[in-house]
Every structure is written in structure tokens, then in C-alpha cells.
Structure 1
Amino acid sequence: MEGSSLRHGQAILVLLVILQFTTYIVLSSADAPFDNQRNIEYIRSSCSSTTYPRLCNRSLSIYASRINTSPRLLVHTALNVTLKASISTSRLMVKISRIHGLKPRVSAAMADCVEVSGDSVDELQQSKGELDRITSSNFALTISDIQTWVSAALTDEDTCIYGFSGKSMNGYAKTTVRKRIIKIAHLTSKALTLINKYASTQSSLP
């Protein structure tokens, strides 16, 4: 009898543990969609202040669970997305510049684009690196440096686009360059707006 009672008690204990674990899983699963929706709404609201809200929301919402509702992580992700796209575009600029038979003016414009797109990548990398090292004690100075570098990256991208102005520059190189650089410029503009917002609302490390 004592053995039977012991086994009965053990069975009840196992059932209670299983019930508690199942309840935890159900509650966690129920909270997850709510939390992620809150994160998505935060990103959408933040992007609404940018010049290109749809691009901003589309490029950042897939990282909603990573960003959570952190202004710093929002800026970090925006810089990272822009940097990755800039690196890809910079490599494409090099490939186009090596195409044989380019007109002299197009070739010169491509050379300029290769140079400034490389500068843009460097400036975005510096910005991202500085954001990783930001603290409450160096916030004001560091965020100012980041704003300067991202602004410079945007200027570089505009310089590349300007180099292809005029009908005489029409062709594959101009079409491809403008399409890619304009997208990068929009991503950079979006990142700069979020950085400026972060700078104006934060007085210390969050």
C-alpha cells in the first residue's frame, strides 16, 4: 500500500510539473505576438518622421524583435542596413567602371563614383563603430561625430548621382548607377533622420 501511495504521489507531482511547464509555454507564446506587434508599431512610428517612411519601415521591420523599442538599437540597425547596402553598391560601382568601351565622360564619372562610394562606406563604418562605443559620458560628442560622418556619406552619394547629369551620359552605366545610388541615398537619409531624432531625445545612454 505504501508503495502504491508513493507511486500515486509521484504521478501527481509529474502531472503538476507538466501542467506548470505547459502553462508557461502557452503564456509565453501568447505574449510573443503582442511584444512583436508593439516593436513593429514602434518602428512604424519612428519611420513616420523620415523622408522615406515606407522604405524605412520595410527595411527595419524585419528586425523588430532585435530592435525591440530601443532608440539606440533602432539607429544601430538602420546604420547596419545602410552599410551593408553601401558595401554591395560600392562593389558594383567598381565592376561597372571596368566595363570596356565606356565613353570618356562616363568613365570619368564612374571613377568619381567608385571613389566617393568607397568614402561613403568608410564613413558609415566609422559611424557604426562609434555608436558601439557610445556611453553616457561621451554621448554628446560621439553622436555629433556620427551625424557628421553620415551627413558626409549622403553628400558623397549625391556627388556620384550629380556626375551622371545630362542626356549625354544616358546609357546602362547611368541607369544602373542612379538606381542603386539613389536607393543608398534614401537609406542614408533615413538613418540620418533617426540619428538626429536619437540625438535630440537622449541626454544619456539608454
Structure 2
Amino acid sequence: MDQQSTFFSSIFLTFITISIFEFVTPSSSATTETYTNYIKTSCNYTTYPSVCTTSLLPYALAIKSTPLRLVKQSLSATLKSASTTRTIILKLVKAKNITKGDAAVLKDCIGDIQDSIGEIKDSLKAISSLKSSKDKKFVLSNAQTWTSAAITDEYSCTDGLSDEEISPVVMKKIMTSMVSIARLSSNALYFINHLNI
């Protein structure tokens, strides 16, 4: 075989190899689109779709198209938000210009948010053990109960705001943070309730 034939044969083989590789291996952009579409579609059924997509889309590659991973990440997003809110409330408590009324409300809210964090952690732990559990229905029921309890505690904080005279600034910060957590929790509970086991 002459040099020219060898050259063209090499080109042809390279072309075939690349073509086969592209055919067998889906492009990463197409895969990512599949995962993001899964999250968007799933979130459309929740009570707060926009909150759902905003909190979960950054984790599309980790969630993939797996319902259990969707639940875990949804609970993780709730936990992260609750931890951030606890930090915000603790900073408000330590503020020099805090009034007694504000301090009392914030103290109650810290208790509520601590309870909520504990319950979300328990729920996440239960969901994480679901695959290996012999009694999946019992474990799932526990996750539902703990997430529901977390929502109750989150709204206990906001309900307490109407019973006290507090400053508008403190009121706005607490309301914004707690409502955000409650919505994330509500979406997580929806996914737990619709998890097929």
C-alpha cells in the first residue's frame, strides 16, 4: 500500500472511530438538559414551583433523574436555608439596639428554628436509610412526620410575630427567612409523599 493510500485509510478510520464514539456516547449538554427538564417537570407539581426550581437546578447533575436523590437534595436545601436563618436570627439577637419585645420574639424563633433543623435532619437521615431498610413504609412515614413537624415549627415562629410588638425591620427579616424555609419544607414534603417505594 502506497503512502497516499495509507494516509487516506488513517483518515477514514479516525472518522469512523469518532462517529461511533459520538453515536454511543450522549453529549454532556444533552444529558444536562435531560436532568434539568426532570427537575423542572417535578417542581411544576409542587406548591411552590419557582422556589423548587431555584433551589434544585444547581444540583441537576447530582440529582440526575432519580426521585430519591430529588428528595434528599430538597431536604438538604431546606436544611441549608434553615441553618442560614438561624445565623441571621442569632445576629439580630446580639444587635446593640435590640428592644425587649424584639429579643423575646427572636428567642422564641430560635427555639422554633432549632426544632425545625433537628426534624429536617431526622427526615434526611430516614430518607438516606430508605434503600437498606426492611420496613420502607415505616421509614417513609417517619420522614413525612418529621418534615410536617418542621413546617409546623417554622410557622410557629411567624405566627408569634403577630402576638408581639416588634420593629418592622426585624419583622421583615424573620418573615422573609421563615416563609422561605417553610416553602422549601413544603416542597420537600410533597416529594416525600409522592416517593414510590
TM-score, normalisation: structure 2: 0.86
| Residue in 1 that maps onto 2:57 | 61
Structure 2 match to 1:74? 70
Equivalent position amino acid for 1:140 in 2? K
Deviation at 1:109, TM superposition (A): 0.7
Give the letter aligned to residue 158 of structure 1. Y
Per-residue deviation, residues 137-166 of structure 1 (Å, max 9, x unmatched): 221011110111111111111011112116
Distance (Å, rounded) in 1 between the aligned partners of 2:9 and 2:182:
62
Q: How does 1:108-123 map to 2 (within 5 A)?
A: 108-123=104-119
2:99 maps to what in 1?
103
Name the residue aligned to 2:150.
Answer: 153
How far 1:90 sits from its partner (Å)?
1.0
The equivalent residue for 2:139 is: 142
**Counterpart of 1:164?**
161
CA RMSD of aligned residues (A): 2.6
Q: Does the 8 A contact of 1:160 with 1:181 survive in 2? A: yes
- Shifted more, 173-182 versus 24-33: the winner is 24-33
In the TM superposition, what is the alpha-carbon distance from 1:94 to its structure 2 partner?
1.1
The answer on 1:194 being equivalent to 2:191 is yes
- The range that moved more, 178-187 or 21-30, is 21-30
State yes or no: 1:183 paired with 2:180: yes
User: Structure 1's 167 and 22: CA in aligned 2 closer, same or farther, altered over 3 A?
Assistant: same
After superposition, the Cα gap between the structure-2 partners of 1:64 and 1:94, relative to the gap in structure 1 and judged at 3 Å, is same
Structure 1: gaps of 5 or more residues: none
* Correspondence 1:12-51 to 2 at 5 A: 18-19=14-15, 22-23=18-19, 26-27=22-23, 30-51=26-47
Residue deviations 1:96-142, cap 9 Å, x none? 11223322222111001111111111111111111111136221011
Residues 1:124 and 1:20: Cα distance change in structure 2 (over 3 Å): farther
* Aligned residue type for 2:166: M
Question: Following TM superposition, by how much is the alpha carbon of 1:191 offset from its aligned partner in structure 2, in angstroms?
Answer: 0.8
Distance 1:119 1:13, change over 3 A: farther
Between Structure 1 and Structure 2, how many residues are aligned? 196
Aligned residues of 1:147 and 1:192 also touching (Cα < 8 A)? yes
Query: What is the distance in 2 between the residues matched to 1:75 and 1:119?
Result: 20
Structure 1 residues 109 and 39: alpha-carbon distance in aligned structure 2, compared to 1, 3 A threshold = same
One-letter amino acid matched to 1:130 = A
Unmatched tracts of structure 2, length 5 or more: none
Contact 2:147 2:189 survives alignment (8 Å): yes
Structure 1 residue 17, shift from structure 2 partner: 7.2
Change (3 A) 1:17 1:73: farther
**Contact preservation (8 Å) 1:106, 1:164:** no
2:89 is matched with: 93
Q: CA deviation at 1:25?
A: 5.4
SS in 2 for 1:163: helix
Give the partner amino acid of 1:88.
Answer: T
